[in-house]
């Protein structure tokens, strides 16, 4: 398994270097499939998403595919995913992205792809693998988003790890008391939480082991009581 769970996506520095090392070949010889579903339920301007896609594309991939898990026949979507070297889960709603994998019957395929490909998550794309996915809705008060999406069920796409990832630590749009919010939510959750800034990522090779931190920035690790056990 080679999973790189990022907050801010791929950008020059330690996170991008880690991806190239995981691939074992340059990006110019690698194909990426970007899954856009997490952002698609939200109305309004998508200029930021397009800028992110263009920044990612400009890294020099051999092939840059963008798809939705609802975008065509199952066989065609599966073929596109299997032909990629990197499966990239873009940001938006982690709940909708997990729903997209499950409702289309692609969750077993995702588990298979995680053993064959490099998976990269950006924000929501990094947040779909926790056994505590549903419990985090209460702990971090995500009810408004879940209600907006009209989801009949909230669950992980692939429940592999017992910890939860929070993203965008220190971002301008985050509240000033974000670290307190994260600590209090973690204590309610009763499970470990990683809070990453946009220069940080978690490298997962074995879901049963602690992830490796890849970072050129700031991150915090909380234990199940909400206490900080490690940070940088």
Mean pLDDT over each residue of the chain, to the nearest integer: 97
Record the pTM. Answer: 0.97
CATH number of 2-231: 3.40.50.880
> Which tokens belong to 199?
């220069």
Beta-carbon contacts of 179 under 8 Å, excluding residues fewer than 6 positions away, are 169, 195, 220
* pLDDT value at residue 157: 98
Calculate mean pLDDT across residues 150-172.
97
Element (H, E) at 79: helix 74-83
Q: What is the per-residue pLDDT across 81-111, written as a single tens digit (0 to 9) for each?
A: 999 999 999 999 999 999 999 999 999 999 9
* pLDDT value at residue 12: 92
Calculate mean pLDDT across residues 75-85.
98
Calculate mean pLDDT across residues 25-37.
98
Could you tell me which of 171, 201, 95 has the C-alpha nearest to residue 138?
95
* pLDDT value at residue 230: 95
Q: What is the per-residue pLDDT across 204-227, written as a single tens digit (0 to 9) for each?
A: 999 999 999 999 999 999 999 999
Per-residue pLDDT band at 63 (split at 50, 70, 90): very high
* pLDDT value at residue 107: 97
* pLDDT value at residue 99: 98
Beta-carbon contacts of 185 under 8 Å, excluding residues fewer than 6 positions away, are 136, 139, 140, 141, 193, 226
**Contact criterion met (CB below 8 Å) for 97 and 35:** yes
* pLDDT value at residue 168: 98
Q: What proportion of the chain, given as a percentage, has pLDDT over 70?
A: 100
Q: What angle do CA 141, 142, 145 make, to 5 degrees?
A: 145
């Amino acid at each position: 398994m080679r999973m790189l769970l990022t907050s801010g996506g791929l950008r020059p520095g330690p996170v991008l270097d880690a991806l190239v090392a995981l691939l074992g070949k340059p990006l110019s010889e690698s194909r990426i499939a970007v899954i856009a579903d997490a952002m698609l339920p939200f109305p309004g301007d998508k200029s930021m998403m397009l800028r992110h896609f263009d920044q990612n594309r400009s890294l020099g991939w051999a092939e840059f595919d963008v798809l939705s898990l609802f975008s065509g026949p199952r066989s065609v979507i599966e073929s596109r995913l299997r032909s990629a070297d990197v499966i990239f889960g873009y940001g938006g709603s982690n709940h909708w992205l997990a729903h997209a994998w499950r409702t289309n019957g692609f969750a077993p395929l995702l588990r298979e792809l995680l053993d064959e490909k490099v998976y990269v998550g950006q924000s929501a794309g990094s947040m779909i693998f926790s056994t505590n996915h549903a419990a985090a809705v209460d702990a971090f008060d995500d009810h408004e988003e879940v209600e907006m999406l009209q989801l009949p069920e909230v669950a992980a796409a692939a429940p592999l790890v017992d910890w939860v990832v929070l993203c965008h630590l220190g971002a301008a749009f985050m509240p000033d008391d974000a670290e307190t919010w994260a600590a209090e939510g973690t204590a309610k959750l009763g499970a470990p939480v990683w809070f990453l800034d946009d220069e940080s990522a978690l490298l997962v090779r074995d879901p049963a082991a602690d992830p490796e931190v890849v970072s050129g920035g700031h991150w915090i690790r909380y234990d199940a009581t909400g206490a900080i056990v490690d940070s940088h």
